[in-house]
């Protein structure tokens, strides 16, 4: 009688652990928080395909930003494209040296149109995401904390 109960408990714990691990990735919908003003700026959906993560702006939350705003300072093919739907994270993969981190890609700051190297680190069991944009080495950059929406 105890054996089936132990097996059921082991399966339950295993399932819970795998669900927790699945949430501890950058994939999902995130509320971006400006690191200077601490105001909500947008919702960004990060998705994975073939081990590569990309992120697009799904919704603008800052009332100071016009709903039809475009990336007028972008210098690449995103110039004058609407912010909603704009891909701002590209080429991110899980780190070979630290499996709790994703890097190797770039993040676009639509405010200045510049792209930076990016490092994504899920925190608090995947409830938040440390997004570090930098030039050269990660020490030379800034970090925003995004909050998981789903």
User: In terms of residue numbers, what domain contains 127?
Assistant: 26-148
Q: By the 8 A CB rule, do 79 and 71 touch?
A: yes
141 domain-assigned: yes
61 domain-assigned: yes
Residue 131 three-state SS: strand
pLDDT tens digits, residue range 52-93?
999 999 999 999 999 999 999 999 999 999 999 999 999 999
121 domain-assigned: yes
13 domain-assigned: no
Q: By the 8 A CB rule, do 133 and 116 touch?
A: yes
Number of domain units in the chain:
1
pLDDT tens digits, residue range 94-149?
999 999 999 999 999 999 999 999 999 999 999 999 999 999 888 889 999 999 99
CB atoms within 10 A of CB 127: 11
Report whether pLDDT(37) > 70: yes
pLDDT value of residue 17: 40
79 domain-assigned: yes
16 domain-assigned: no
Beta bridge partners of 122: 129
50 domain-assigned: yes
Report whether pLDDT(9) > 70: no
20 domain-assigned: no
pLDDT value of residue 150: 84
Binning pLDDT at 50, 70 and 90, where does residue 24 land? confident
Say which range, 18-22, 44-48, 81-85, 106-110, has the weakest mean pLDDT.
18-22
Handedness of CA 87, 93, 97, 98 (dihedral sign): positive
Q: What's the CATH code of the domain at 126?
A: 2.40.128.520
Distance CA 132, CA 35 (A): 11
């Amino acid at each position: 009688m105890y054996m089936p109960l132990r097996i059921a408990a082991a399966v339950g714990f295993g399932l819970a652990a795998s669900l927790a691990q699945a949430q501890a990735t950058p994939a999902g919908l995130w509320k971006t928080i400006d690191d200077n003003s601490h105001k909500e700026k947008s919702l960004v959906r990060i998705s994975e395909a073939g081990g590569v993560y990309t992120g697009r702006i799904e919704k603008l939350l800052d009332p100071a930003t016009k709903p039809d705003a475009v990336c007028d300072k972008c210098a690449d093919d995103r110039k004058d494209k609407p912010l909603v739907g704009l891909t701002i994270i590209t080429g991110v993969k899980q780190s070979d040296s630290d499996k709790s981190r994703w890097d190797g890609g770039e993040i676009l700051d639509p405010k200045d149109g510049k792209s930076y190297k990016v490092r994504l680190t899920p925190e608090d069991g995947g409830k938040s995401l440390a997004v570090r944009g930098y030039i050269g080495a990660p020490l030379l950059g800034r970090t925003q904390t995004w909050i998981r929406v789903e």
